[in-house]
Amino acid sequence: MKKIFLYLFLLVSAGVLLADVWSADVVYLICKPAIMIMLGLHYIVTQQANRQTISRSLVLAIVFSCAGDTLLMLQHRNADFFMFGLAAFLVAHIFFILAYRQHRTDDTASELQGLQKIRYAFPIILSGTGLVVILYNRLGGMKFPVLVYAAVLTTMVVSALFRFGRTNSASFGMVFGGAILFMISDSLIAINKFLEPLPMAGFWIMITYIAAQYLIVTGLGKHKNENVML
């Protein structure tokens, strides 16, 4: 019974992917906002069943992600919705960063040290800034919002990296893998919108996004820590 929302999450996720391929707009409109609702409910039910604390920061990240999904879905009706969706996801990333900091131990003995942090963070920062440089002249009036969003997104991924050694391997691997997939999904959105249309863009954007959210939320749930703040 506690997995009912996981099954519903998988169902609506499949619905979004199939609706994108088959251009089933009604199914897409119904299923896309439901993705994060079902994943959020699955997280809450699972945490309660495992007698683990529910992170308010993670719940808020899920809520703002759901808002971002809905707003981006409606951008074809009003171009301003893209900006609102971007803002919603920016706030979601801030709450993800806070959630990462909650879901780690106080023991820093095994974490990345000094030059290690720079060495492993550099490719992430290079990826985040490199795409912005490529797209910069095509961003028009979106230059500042995209720069701010890219900075926060990159910080979110680096924050996931810096959990290394301060949580169990399953939690670290899932969350970091999810953060990387989130960056890939957002990069596909940027390339498709500002550079050139990609074949089956909607499908690849959504499948990487869905996997990213599932891995982050589930991965944080695997960090067993009674001191996680509400």
Residue 106 — very low, low, confident or very high, per pLDDT cuts 50/70/90?
A: very high
pLDDT value of residue 28: 96
CA distance 178 to 135: 24
CA distance 14 to 8: 10
Average pLDDT, the chain: 95
Residue 95 — very low, low, confident or very high, per pLDDT cuts 50/70/90?
A: very high
**Residue 55 corresponds to which tokens in the numbers above?**
């992170």
Per the rule left: phi > 0, alpha: psi between -120 and 50, beta: everything else, 120 is alpha
pLDDT, average across residues 161-176: 97
pLDDT at 227 exceeding the cut of 80 = no
Residue found by looking up tokens 């924050």 in the block = 159
Total length of the chain: 230
- Cβ density class 75-87: b for 16+ within 10 Å, e for less: beeeeebbebbbb
pLDDT at 213 exceeding the cut of 80 = yes
Residue 77 — very low, low, confident or very high, per pLDDT cuts 50/70/90?
A: confident
pLDDT value of residue 225: 61
Residue 73 — very low, low, confident or very high, per pLDDT cuts 50/70/90?
A: very high
Of the candidates 179, 65, 190, which has an alpha carbon nearest to the alpha carbon of residue 121? Answer: 179
pLDDT, average across residues 8-33: 96
pLDDT value of residue 229: 46
Weakest mean pLDDT among 5-14, 53-62, 121-130, 221-230: 221-230
Residue 230 — very low, low, confident or very high, per pLDDT cuts 50/70/90?
A: very low
pLDDT, average across residues 108-130: 95
Chain segment 3-19, per-residue pLDDT in tens: 999 999 999 999 999 99
Radius of gyration of the chain (CA): 18
Q: Mapped to the 3 state alphabet, what secondary structure does the chain carry? A: CCCHHHHHHHHHHHHHHHHHHHCCHHHHHHHHHHHHHHHHHHHHHHHHHCCCCCCHHHHHHHHHHHHHHHHHHCCCCCCHHHHHHHHHHHHHHHHHHHHHHHCCCCCCCCCCCHHHHHHHHHHHHHHHHHHHHHHHHHCHHHHHHHHHHHHHHHHHHHHHHCCCCCCCHHHHHHHHHHHHHHHHHHHHHHHHHHHCCCCCHHHHHHHHHHHHHHHHHHHHHCCCCCCCCC
pLDDT, average across residues 44-53: 93
User: Is-contact 12 38, C-beta < 8 A?
Assistant: yes
pLDDT, average across residues 19-48: 96
